[in-house]
Amino acid sequence: MIYSDRINLHRDLLRLDRELDGAPTPEKIAELVEKSIRSRLCFDELRSFNSTGRFLGRHPFVRADDGMSRLRQLLLTSPEDFMKEYRRAAMNVSRYGTRLRRDGLSEELQEKYRQLLGKWTEREKMMDECLKMNLYASEKRI
């Protein structure tokens, strides 16, 4: 799974590099940096596994909570439930983003909404990656 993530990231980095040659935007630059960091994490995890037989546990796919494998399993066993969860994550990202833009929020509420927004944004990204990897795997089978 980490290797396929590394391949997908490499493909995305090449695409972003071409796009940045034309018209760089702050969003594209931020995406390039995030994907570069994640690609490096993939490389470090794979190198560690190759030399020691153990993962470092830094990459989101092999962290101790192992949320990514649960999401992939849900996608494979029950795609309908996965899509419901995906929709729920997107709705929560939208909800907490809107709440953060409200005026007059206490510092405590702002911090709470920031944490919840981060949590749901991360979950939505993981679900996006599950879908991309599943699509890539299905393309290889064809």
* pLDDT higher than threshold 60 for residue 139: no
Residue with structure tokens 């997107």? 90
Rounded to two decimals, the pTM is: 0.54
Closest CA to 89 of 122, 61, 114: 122
Closest CA to 38 of 9, 4, 16: 9
- Over the stretch 50-88, which tens digit does the pLDDT of each residue have? 888 877 777 777 764 567 778 888 888 899 999 999 999
Angle, alpha carbons 42-117-137 (nearest 5°): 35
